Each structure stands twice: as C-alpha cells, then as structure tokens.
Chain A
C-alpha cells in the first residue's frame, strides 16, 4: 500500500521563527489534507490541497502531485501552533472506498 512519510518527526522552534514541514507519498493520490492536532487531541483542518498552493494567514501549503510531495509552511510561529501536524492522502489506486491514509506526523513545539 501507499507509504506516507513526514519530516522532520520533531521540531522545536522559538516563537516568531518560520518552518517548513514535508509530506512525501509513495504513489499517486486523489486527495490530500493537512491537519493540526492540538494538545487536547482535536484534529483541525488546515488545508484541502491535492495540488497547487493555498494560503491562510500565517500558514500556506503547496502540493506537487507529479513529484509526490506536499509542504506546509508556518511563518512567524506562535505557541498556539504547538501540536502534531498530519498529512493524510487518498491513494488514486485503490478499492474505490477513497479512504484517507495518515502520515507519520511532525511534532512541533514552539517556545515563548
């Protein structure tokens, strides 16, 4: 099955710093989402981005589907950005159930 690898696995930043999180996937995908899981466990949608670039405030994301990767950029990080970031993909080749496969996650800690 498809492999979804995220890097780095752990990241510690000083407040105000910028960062780039990466999601590599081993096969073609139909859908791709980025989520932020806050310290209370809630999964929050950041982007639905199977291709192209999107921006929402301090966050932006780019997916290059032909090269099988997606990037999440966080600018001017804040302590509230702490948590785990997941990408999740729906493989293009599958049983037709279009189920999401989650990546390994990047654990981010932003220090005040």
Chain B
C-alpha cells in the first residue's frame, strides 16, 4: 500500500481482555514507532524498532504492553489484561533511517476498554 496501514481501526475490549494491534509500515521503511494518543492530547512515544530490533521501549507504560516486529516489516502491539486507562488511539509511524526524515503516520487504532 501507499501509506502506513493499521488494523483494526476500532477495538472495544472488556477490561482484562488481551488485544493485538497491527501495523503495516511503508515498504522499505526501516524505522517503526508506536505512539499512544489520549483524547485531546499529543501522541506519546511508546517504542521504536529499527528493522526487527527493538531499540527503545522506554515509553511502554507497564509490562502489560509488548511490541514485536519479527521480520522487520509488520509490527504488532499487544496489550495484556487491558485496563480502562489503556483507552486511547494507538498510532504507528514509519520512516527511513536517515537523520530527520519524515515520519509517516497511520490512521491509528482507537481502543476503548469497557
């Protein structure tokens, strides 16, 4: 596809349920980022991959959050035992590796935990 694709677009989970959010980056983009955007707020960094290597996971809010990118392309963000405070839009972005190049964002997955 031409852009970053995320699925599902919307997810409603019962509290305690596990969820998996998928990101298909732009073909050839080495870097992949996950951000969390709470309602009315700016996106906040969660984690960063360079190819299949997870170079930074300092933004993951708890050990219930896990991300992977096993083949250096598609990435999955998994949230275990979801809590109401996990409700947010989860954005994926990809870019080339070069300095200060544009990060392209997907449309996000809106997660609502009830």
Q: Do A and B come from one complex?
A: no
A residues engaging B (CB < 8 A)? Answer: none
B residues engaging A (CB < 8 A)? Answer: none
